Amino acid sequence: MTLLCSNLWVKAMARMRVADVIVETLQAAGVQHCWGVPGDTLNYVTDAIRRSKIKFVHMRHEEAAGFAAGAEAMVTHNLTACAGSCGPGSLHFINGLYESHRNRAPVVLIASQIIRDEIGFDFPQEVDFKRVYEGASVFCDEIRTAGQAQRKTALACQAALSKRGLAVLVLPVDVSKAEVEVNEFAVHRSYPVIRPSDAELDAIATTLNAGSRIAVYGGSGCEGAHAEVLELAKALKAPIAHTSRAKDFLEYDNPFNVGMTGVFGTEAGYHALMNCDTLLLLGCDFAWRQFYPSNAKIIQVDIDGAHLGRRHPIDIGAVGDVKATLQALMPHLKEKTDNAFLSECLHHHTKAVAALDKRAKIGRGGAIHPQYLASLIGKHAPKNAIYTADGGSPMVWLLRHIPATGESRTIISLSHGTMANAMPQALGAKKAQPHRQVISLSGDGGLAMMLGDLITAIQEDIPIKIAVFNNSSLGFVELEQKVEGLLDAYTNLKNPDFARVAESIGFWGMAVDNADELDAAVASWLGQPGPALLDVHVDRMELVMPPKIEAAQIFGTALYSAKALLSGRGDDVLELLTDNFLN
């Protein structure tokens, strides 16, 4: 006993450099990688990482590092770190980490800072990181003294893990190199079981038992609750629609699935929600109010009480984990026998899938529909593949045409809606899980934004696979302009030969512009042992059709067509009509 107390006293009294204390605390919290670009005020931190078990992943741009770190955290559910130099270095992270924060990925950023004596005097490279990051974090504070280092680092890690988001530690360089006595502050992970009260469960059950046309709408909160959601649907004879973020958790092996609703969804998911008399929202914070029913009883279950009723008025709101809540709710439910509404919705789903599949084929004259490319990727990829996709049409084609398997994982930008996320997120996912195939569905505009970090795949030996949906345009922006009745403007892209660019960096590269060659090309591309890029020239005029076309959209597209004809762009109108409607 005396020896044990003596050892603890010696450890507590040991002096360490602050940078080492921070890195040791991060390592104990489960951090395996730190993503970033080294720089002057960060030097003591990178030196501490060099001597730790954490691997520093040297990126070419900090924004890409922010994307990558978030993807790693999402696929592992573990804490990941980023680190940047003062001023522009840590400022560059903002968009990538904003995306990761809104994906609820637990990430810690060490934003190194100039020395304390110069803060507040407009010193070169001085940036007030607290003001910059407070709106995109669950924790944001400066380590003001060496004595605060371990305590604040543990607090930041705790916040990132428990609140699921970005935590920011601002670290002046003079603090990072100071020495301090080490304390025993540590990070603790808790896994509580949270469900509504018995009275709330009774109220939910009473409403569900009274409904005759019940629909379930599941969100990302359904992760890990696949069996419980299906058991519920079976008892209620209810179709299950799901958000884009819930694709991986609810779509596979699901006889009650009617797909997504919203702009990226299909008519079947839309039909189920619009025609039910009772809607059960499970772990779902779907933002688009026009896709909620106006004449149904709505029940919402969410782990975050602040989400209840914030998108649309609800009748019952309850806080709980979906899995635990459904396990507690099932004994209160009466099994229904009438499956007419379920059968009706499943019939709509069969028709909607057939309509999507019609576009996933070779186009006239060998043209490549982007849906065909996505479907071939799904055909040749392993069941446990991880997919990333750029915001815009590549994301839609992934969601609609690559089926979830129960082992696959999808990482896309939905809450933040950024471009250029796919390739860096693929780097993060592959670094975290090197045994899995990781595939980036990149837009030509998105890839060009972050092109420099293709080099990271070579330097850090991260063998990702990139498919470029090359339509020589900012395609989704162009579509939005047309639907508004505007002539498309400033959306043209004069692209390089991405395959040759990739080869010059060290990738395997190949370009395809004929659909007859695409199947074999996709198989060859995915079969490469190292980083590989497939540059596919897809049909520029392909439209992303929403599940319900509004009159305003029809009018807008007609107005665009009239303006295009008057501007001498009749060929564009003919191609748009022929590719999407006349065929």
To the nearest whole number, what is the mean pLDDT of the chain?
91
DSSP H helices, 406-530, are 422-432, 444-449, 454-459, 475-483, 498-505, 518-526
pLDDT of residue 366: 86
Tens-digit pLDDT profile for residues 354-382: 988 988 898 888 899 999 999 999 999 99
pLDDT of residue 576: 44
The residue-averaged pLDDT of 559-583 equals: 47
CA distance linking residue 423 with residue 466, whole number of Å = 7
The residue-averaged pLDDT of 36-46 equals: 97
pLDDT of residue 502: 98
Name 34's bridge partners.
Answer: 56, 81
High-pLDDT (> 90) share of the chain, %: 78
User: Quick one: 14-181 is in which CATH superfamily?
Assistant: Thiamin diphosphate (ThDP)-binding fold, Pyr/PP domains (3.40.50.970)
- From 157, 99, 151, select the one nearest 388 (Cα to Cα): 99
pTM: 0.90
> 360-582: what fold?
Rossmann fold (3.40.50)
If residue 106 lies in a helix (H) or strand (E), which one and from where to where?
none
Tens-digit pLDDT profile for residues 514-540: 999 999 999 999 999 999 999 999 998
Look at residue 555 and tell me whether its pLDDT is greater than 50: no
On whether the CB atoms of residues 520 and 380 are closer than 8 A, the answer is no
Does residue 68 come out as left (phi exceeding 0), alpha (psi in the -120 to 50 range) or beta?
alpha
Please list, in sequence order, all residues whose beta carbon lies within 8 angstroms of the beta carbon of residue 478, skipping any fewer than 6 positions away.
488, 491
Look at residue 12 and tell me whether its pLDDT is greater than 70: no
pLDDT of residue 480: 73
CATH class of the structural domain 198-350: alpha beta
Domain boundaries, the chain: 14-181, 198-350, 360-582
Look at residue 9 and tell me whether its pLDDT is greater than 50: no
pLDDT tier at 577, thresholds 50, 70, 90? very low
Tens-digit pLDDT profile for residues 474-492: 777 777 777 677 777 888 8
Nearest 5°: the CA angle 119, 51, 127 is: 15
pLDDT of residue 32: 98
Distances in Å between the alpha carbon of 565 and those of 475, 560, 571, 574?
20, 9, 8, 10
Lowest mean pLDDT among 168-172, 455-459, 539-543: 539-543
Tens-digit pLDDT profile for residues 404-445: 999 999 999 988 989 999 999 999 999 999 999 999 999 999
Name 83's bridge partners.
Answer: 36, 110
Look at residue 2 and tell me whether its pLDDT is greater than 50: no
The residue-averaged pLDDT of 67-85 equals: 98
On whether the CB atoms of residues 372 and 362 are closer than 8 A, the answer is yes
If residue 250 lies in a helix (H) or strand (E), which one and from where to where?
helix 247-250
pLDDT tier at 1, thresholds 50, 70, 90? very low
